[in-house]
Amino acid sequence: MKILAIESSCDETSMSVIEDGHIDLGTIILSQIDIHKMYGGVVPEIASRSHVENITIVLEEVLAKANLTMDEIDAIAVTYGPGLIGSLLVGLLAAKTLAYIYNKPLIPVHHIAGHIYANNLVKKMAFPLIALVISGGHTELIYMKENYSFKKIGGTLDDAVGECYDKVARVLGLPYPGGPSIDKLAKEGNDTYKLPIPLNDESYDFSFSGLKSAVINLVNNEKQKGNELRKEDLACSFQNRVVEILTKKTIKALKEYHVKNLIVAGGVAANSAIRKSLELECLKNDVNLTVPPILYCTDNAAMIGAAGFFAYQKGILANLNLNAKANCNLEEL
């Protein structure tokens, strides 16, 4: 089954053709990072306008790359939420138009389900599993008993981890998106700054706003005192606290749920220190770990096509009334 997938929830216009939920026949990702960089973050209105400009070009390119015509496509999968409403609407309208014109089934895909199923493009997902979803908008621990069954066991109570990376990077004067810049800088530094780990308790929930505030206060205090800020040491100290808490709660979940499969998903899964720490702990605890390659970690339509295949198998289909949702629950599919 060949699914044409469309993703436009934030600042990437992406389409992909995925066969049977795991073979990538062609993916196009048009990133708007260079446009948003000058504003230090994604500007929603600019993002949706760029999607409008790019969407038909991306469609032509993806079909050419996969060497297919629309008649050879079996279904259309699309991200309906969560995300920026104006951005989501562009991809959704494109999907509905194609489904209508070519008379194809329309599969609604939750963005986080997409991030999780990016792992199926690497290796067939084995169940039960725990998914650690870490992105610019989400920090969640999900338990999956079987394909397309999601139980949220914990999540952030405030900022998402990627959001925290981006804000800390901005305070340190690093370019947007902040995650990759901090990851790189941290490698040159030492863990010398004292920073708190918020919500370092026995729950599966996370809190990152306190850590972010602690970094901002530290930077301001050092400035006031006229002290020189060792940016690489601060990046390293910050990143180590993030790694510690994500690793601790993920390993706890694996043990308590008696699960031997861990997948990591979302843009922050590209982080080298998080990958390293989880690899080490999974080895110690005899857990199979899968992390997608960086291309499939950040937003892309290949993951939507992979998830769409399993949604279709569960009978999850939409009609032309499907609407975009800025916020929606993964468990309510």
Which residues of the chain form contacts with ligand KG4 (CB under 6 A)?
10, 135-137, 162, 165-166, 177-180, 183, 266-268, 270-271, 298-299
Near Zn ion by CB under 5 A, which window of 151-159, 193-201, 226-234, 294-302?
A: 294-302
The one of ligand KG4, Zn ion, none whose footprint includes residue 183, by CB under 5 to 8 A per kind, is ligand KG4
Separation CA 4–CA 225 (nearest Å): 57
The one of Zn ion, ligand KG4, none whose footprint includes residue 308, by CB under 5 to 8 A per kind, is none
Contact set for Zn ion, span 216-275 (CB under 5 A): none
CB of 273 vs ligand KG4, minimal distance in Å: 8
87 is a contact residue toward Zn ion (CB under 5 A):
no
**Dihedral sign for Cα atoms in the order 327, 36, 295, 208:** negative
Sort strands 129-134 and 139-144 into parallel, antiparallel or unpaired. Answer: antiparallel
Contact criterion met (CB below 8 Å) for 185 and 192: no
CB of 270 vs ligand KG4, minimal distance in Å: 4
CB of 267 vs Zn ion, minimal distance in Å: 6
CB of 237 vs ligand KG4, minimal distance in Å: 15
CB of 199 vs ligand KG4, minimal distance in Å: 19
Strand order in the sheet with 23-31: 23-31, 12-19, 2-7, 75-81, 106-110
DSSP helix/strand/coil, 78: strand
Nearer to ligand KG4, 24 or 159 (CB): 159
The one of ligand KG4, Zn ion, none whose footprint includes residue 178, by CB under 5 to 8 A per kind, is ligand KG4
CB of 137 vs Zn ion, minimal distance in Å: 7
299 is a contact residue toward Zn ion (CB under 5 A):
yes
Contact criterion met (CB below 8 Å) for 183 and 172: no
CB of 246 vs ligand KG4, minimal distance in Å: 11
Nearer to ligand KG4, 177 or 308 (CB): 177
Give the interface size with Zn ion as a residue count (CB under 5 A): 2
Cis-peptide into 293, omega within 30 deg: no
Nearer to Zn ion, 137 or 154 (CB): 137
CB of 302 vs ligand KG4, minimal distance in Å: 13
Using only C-alpha atoms, what is the Rg of the chain?
A: 20
Q: Is 67 left (phi over 0), alpha (psi -120 to 50) or beta?
A: left
Task: State phi, psi for 25 to the nearest 5 degrees.
Answer: -85, -10
From the list 15, 106, 8, 78, the residue with the least C-alpha distance to 48 is 8
135 is a contact residue toward Zn ion (CB under 5 A):
yes
Nearer to ligand KG4, 40 or 128 (CB): 40
Beta carbons within 10 angstroms of residue 315's beta carbon: 6
Paired tokens of 178: 């902040």
Nearer to ligand KG4, 12 or 24 (CB): 12
Nearer to ligand KG4, 261 or 300 (CB): 300
Near Zn ion by CB under 5 A, which window of 129-137, 220-228, 278-286, 317-325?
A: 129-137
Separation CA 184–CA 56 (nearest Å): 35
DSSP helix/strand/coil, 106: strand
Token look-up 């997902």 returns 125
Alpha carbon separation from 215 to 49, 124, 165, 190, 327 (Å, rounded): 34, 40, 11, 15, 29
Nearer to ligand KG4, 170 or 252 (CB): 170
Give 204's DSSP letter.
S
The one of ligand KG4, Zn ion, none whose footprint includes residue 180, by CB under 5 to 8 A per kind, is ligand KG4
| Binding-site ranges for Zn ion (CB under 5 A) | 135, 299
